Structure 1
Amino acid sequence: MSESSGPRGTAVPSKRLSRLWHLGRATGDLAAGIGVKGLVDLARSRNSDQPARIQLSPDRTRRFTDRLARMRGAVMKMGQLMSMDGSDVFTAETAEIMSALRDSAEPMPMSQLVQVLEGEYGHDWNRRFKRFEFTPIAAASIGQVHRAETQDGRHLALKIQFPGVRESIDSDIDNLAFLGRSLGMAPKGVDIAPFLDEARRQLHREADYAAEAEALERYRTLIGDDPDLVIPSVHQDLTTHNILAMDFAEGVSIDRLSGPDYRRAERDHAAESLMRLTLRELFEFGLVQTDPNFGNYLYDASSGRITLLDFGATKPVSPELVERFRNLARSTIDGDREGMRAACVAIGYVGEDDPREHVDTMLDLLQMAAEPLRHPGQYDFATSDLFERVYRNGRAMFHSGVFSTAPAPETLFLHRKFMGSFMLSRRLRARVNLAEMAETFI
């Protein structure tokens, strides 16, 4: 066994009022850091063509991220999504600090860690291991990861769930809905309740590690012997609803490739591999890992391969919805506006009787977003301002309240994956031939 001093963490707050208090404090830190002028600028930007940029001092940013990191759970998931490409909303300094949310939740106290291990493996849990590192190698929104070696020599990563996180999901979603309504974050005319319910279901799936183990094994079968991607094996004898035992994988978070230690060819190849995977997930597998957190991809420079982690957010997509997205993609690439409209009606982006000018606004936005799919040869994400253009036009449309319908809630997580893949290519400043790649699947 490794030394038992372990990390000094804080217990996860589990009561709804307690979590609402922490969330309110985090929101207060954010608002205080932005200041009155910043809040006014943000309000004005909702009706402007120019997005406001949030400027926070390093101290305010750390207070905000530290509080979310202490809460863990669904609230931290929100913060992670905000941090994925924060450079477009936050200043560079603020975005850099917020990026810590991707893999630096505060660990649980030793007493809680031992409580989980005893509850899942029994009081003699330590007899199963030749070596167990009490200091976690990673801590995220739902659990933390420990390195261990079994008595029979297997080198494992054990993902151990924070106590109380599963029970706090419903209260977190309710609190986020409350704050969203209070701050006027919901677009006019759109009922966000179905989307929050879908988020609630998704987070409950993510908190069931036995279900994640099944999803991981299914995904390994679909990937097969891929030369660029690696899926860890599950060790069922040590996997429970609260602990997931997997092969230990070497590597660094994929966004580290944006640094000076890696070559352009490595960045391009990594982005190409994960973009192709995104297309395969939807159009070939009908099974999508919907959490594009950069920390879920580990790059091993020695082999050039990417290890895929965290399959709690894996979601099947119905063949009918897959075909609707295929029709939309094909029509968009071909410039077939009527085909695009029919696909948008089928998905729920527009209503059958929506005014033509409103429909045209949606079609224009989709054609803009599909620019990498229509670009001949390699699309250079490093020089593209596509994100800003889509963000500016999409936000104006989102808040306009002119549409009579909304897509099925499960599309929310598909959008999350598409956006995450785009953000990663942008972060890596990669060049990807998406047009050629799409021909295989669309």
Structure 2
Amino acid sequence: MTEIPRRTAARTAKLASLPLGVAGRAAAGWGRRLIGGNSEQISAQLMAKSAEQLFAVLGELKGGAMKFGQALSVFEAAVPEEFGEPYREALIKLQSAAPPMPASDVHRMLAEQFGRGWRSRFEEFDDTPAAAASIGQVHRAVWRDGREVAVKVQYPGAEEAVLSDLRQLSRMSRLLQPLAPGMEIKPLINELRERMVEELDYRDEAANQRAFAATFEGDDKVKVPRVVASAPRAMVSEWVTGRPLSSIIRAGTQDERDTAAALLAEFHYSAPARAGLLHADPHPGNFQILDDGRLLVIDYGAVARLPDGLPRPLTMMTKYALQKRSDELMALMRAEGFVRPETTITADEAIAYLAPFTEPLGTETFRFNRRWLQRQAERVGDLRSPDFDTGRSLNLPPQYLLVHRVTLGTLGVLCQLDADVPLRGIVGHWQPDLFDDEAPAAGS
């Protein structure tokens, strides 16, 4: 057996251990219940063990498996409180932690990307990684002109690992579903596969980052590091660092939470209008708060290209749902392909299903928290709920899939922050059509 098939087989075996481990622990749990064990305590123990295994396997494999774990981490706020803590700790670790690549591999990759004289580009280079991501790790260095820089180096074999992981995870999506209550796993994995292929070429990421940096140059709320150099598998950008958003989620004051959440919401909703792009990887590991109060945004491998800003049909759907304009809402949803053919969904059912996107816009300030998101997940994920049947009648057209996932992911991070956010004003500023004729109904 050659080296690459051998590595692929080993990765597949480790990934297979996830659903098998969950199934084995569930069987053991049922056994303990049959002999009189406390059901709540046993369930909590099972969830803790599953979370522990999830991090151990996904974190070790990096690649598509780790990316899948990072995507799940955005939605941990939807996990019921009695089970949430083990997942919270395990999934948050995936935002910044992974076993490091050996220095010899780093040097070899830099020589391949920048030539054998790559060291002459730097005054200093730290072989110890400062951070790890799904397909690469970051090293701190000093560029030849004295600037501190971050050097992102892709793991050898990353492309093979990413595609292999996501194929395997897609096959196991049904068995993995218990790891993410209230979410549809398979569409998430399929969409990640499309995005990850784009992320493998750091030249594309560098182009995305340059576009964002130009748009937000001199901005008083957002900082995007400048790109210094790039190659297909390595990239150099300014070194900028602040307080990780995950730290504010864990231990921030209410004022810090509210401020961070408002900055994140402003960045998400303003970028399509300002840059014609949407940062498409909204997990907390990609955001920090600088000492000057700005939001630092990193990792531009995944973006949605929106040259005309946010698609107008999404704004109008939200507007019609907010204003209870049922006939116009249903006509637009059918015209845009959001309703499956030959279904009998009513406008009231569609409006109820869109609540995660409309409720936060109904008041000047909305409190995002885990309980609110849990209620939304329970409502659409409960087989007994009318909203579950509604969901089966709805469709998400491919051209809107990424925007939908990123917006939902951003709302998930806002809920992790447990923050009061003036979302109505933020969204209304960047989507003026949303409230332009609402004055008579504003107090309803």
1:378 equivalent in structure 2: 365
1:126 equivalent in structure 2: 119
Question: Which residue, 346, 370, 375 being the options, matches 1:389?
Answer: 375
Equivalences for 1:275-290 in 2 at 5 Å? 275-290=265-280
The answer on whether the counterparts of 2:63 and 2:162 sit within 8 Å (CA) in structure 1 is yes
Structure-2 change in CA distance of 1:194 and 1:436 (3 Å): closer
Task: Tell me which amino acid in the other structure corresponds to 2:256.
Answer: E
The answer on whether the counterparts of 1:350 and 1:403 sit within 8 Å (CA) in structure 2 is no
Count of paired positions: 409
Cα deviation for residue 12 of structure 1 reads 10
Q: SS at the partner of 2:146? A: coil
1:102 equivalent in structure 2: 95
Cα deviation for residue 223 of structure 1 reads 2.6
Cα deviation for residue 199 of structure 1 reads 2.9
Measured in 2, the distance between the counterparts of 1:321 and 1:348 equals 17
2:319 equivalent in structure 1: 330
Equivalences for 1:14-93 in 2 at 5 Å? 15-35=7-27, 37=29, 55-56=45-46, 61-89=51-79, 90-93=83-86
Cα deviation for residue 345 of structure 1 reads 2.1
Equivalences for 1:429-440 in 2 at 5 Å? 429-440=418-429
Q: SS at the partner of 1:356? A: coil
1:425 aligns with 2:414: yes
Question: Which residue, 154, 160, 166 being the options, matches 1:167?
Answer: 160
Measured in 2, the distance between the counterparts of 1:56 and 1:400 equals 30
Structure-2 change in CA distance of 1:404 and 1:314 (3 Å): same
Question: Which residue, 334, 337, 361 being the options, matches 1:345?
Answer: 334
| Farther off after superposition, 262-271 or 203-212 | 262-271
Structure-2 change in CA distance of 1:192 and 1:29 (3 Å): closer
Measured in 2, the distance between the counterparts of 1:59 and 1:184 equals 16
Equivalences for 1:401-412 in 2 at 5 Å? 403=392, 406-412=395-401
TM-score, structure 1 as length reference:
0.83
Task: Tell me which amino acid in the other structure corresponds to 2:314.
Answer: F
Q: SS at the partner of 1:385? A: helix
Measured in 1, the distance between the counterparts of 2:287 and 2:206 equals 17
**Structure 1: where are the runs of 5+ without partners?**
1-10, 42-51, 186-190
Cα deviation for residue 112 of structure 1 reads 1.8
Cα deviation for residue 296 of structure 1 reads 0.5
Measured in 2, the distance between the counterparts of 1:391 and 1:15 equals 37
The answer on whether the counterparts of 1:380 and 1:430 sit within 8 Å (CA) in structure 2 is yes
Instruction: Please tell me the root mean square deviation across aligned C-alpha atoms, in Å.
Output: 3.2
**Structure 2: where are the runs of 5+ without partners?**
34-41, 179-183, 435-444
Cα deviation for residue 276 of structure 1 reads 1.8
Structure-2 change in CA distance of 1:111 and 1:13 (3 Å): farther
1:156 equivalent in structure 2: 149
Cα deviation for residue 31 of structure 1 reads 3.7
The answer on whether the counterparts of 1:138 and 1:146 sit within 8 Å (CA) in structure 2 is yes
Structure-2 change in CA distance of 1:299 and 1:327 (3 Å): same
1:46 equivalent in structure 2: none
The answer on whether the counterparts of 2:269 and 2:427 sit within 8 Å (CA) in structure 1 is yes
The answer on whether the counterparts of 2:100 and 2:132 sit within 8 Å (CA) in structure 1 is yes
The answer on whether the counterparts of 2:338 and 2:394 sit within 8 Å (CA) in structure 1 is yes
1:255 equivalent in structure 2: 246
1:243 aligns with 2:221: no
Structure-2 change in CA distance of 1:367 and 1:180 (3 Å): closer
Q: SS at the partner of 2:220? A: coil
1:218 aligns with 2:211: yes
Task: Tell me which amino acid in the other structure corresponds to 1:266.
Answer: E
Measured in 1, the distance between the counterparts of 2:165 and 2:292 equals 41
The answer on whether the counterparts of 1:350 and 1:406 sit within 8 Å (CA) in structure 2 is yes
Cα deviation for residue 204 of structure 1 reads 1.0
Cα deviation for residue 253 of structure 1 reads 1.4
Cα deviation for residue 111 of structure 1 reads 2.8
Task: Tell me which amino acid in the other structure corresponds to 1:267.
Answer: R
The answer on whether the counterparts of 2:92 and 2:246 sit within 8 Å (CA) in structure 1 is no
The answer on whether the counterparts of 2:8 and 2:164 sit within 8 Å (CA) in structure 1 is yes
Task: Tell me which amino acid in the other structure corresponds to 1:68.
Answer: L
The answer on whether the counterparts of 2:245 and 2:289 sit within 8 Å (CA) in structure 1 is yes
Structure-2 change in CA distance of 1:32 and 1:182 (3 Å): closer
Identity %: 26
Measured in 1, the distance between the counterparts of 2:235 and 2:253 equals 34
Structure-2 change in CA distance of 1:276 and 1:346 (3 Å): farther
* Cα displacement string for residues 49-105 of structure 1 (whole angstroms, at most 9, x for unaligned residues): xxx976447565333312211111111111112223425423313421331111102
> Which structure is higher in helix share?
2
Measured in 2, the distance between the counterparts of 1:53 and 1:287 equals 43
